[in-house]
Amino acid sequence: MKLEFPVLRHAWHGLVHVVRTQRHALWHALASLAVVGLGIGLQVSLIEWLALILAIGLVWVAEIFNTALEIACDVITKEPHPLIGLAKDVAAGAVLVAAFIAAAVGAVVFVPRFWEMWRPWV
């Protein structure tokens, strides 16, 4: 894909790098597609779409920043260092927090719908 604006080209290159090199990006992509599919299938409201989109975006932004920090740390040294290891762990923790928040948003949006669907059988 050819982009005319250098800023967009660099940003696109960064996103492609994240998706191609980060194994968790595949899980984020699958989860994002599942949420969008459920949202369409269960006909969520506009405000629920907003919450879901923000939650998905939060996880992706956290993952992208985590990847950027890992790359920057690896430029400094590939040798184990306790502070670099800690920085990477903290960044990974941010991704985990974002994922928990996204899961909570998904639960608030989807659990009541599933409960209503399954309630006749309970």
Catalytic-residue membership of 70: no
**Given 48, 63, 70, 79, the catalytic residue:** 63
- Round to whole Å and give the CA distance between 65 and 68: 5
Active-site residue list: 63
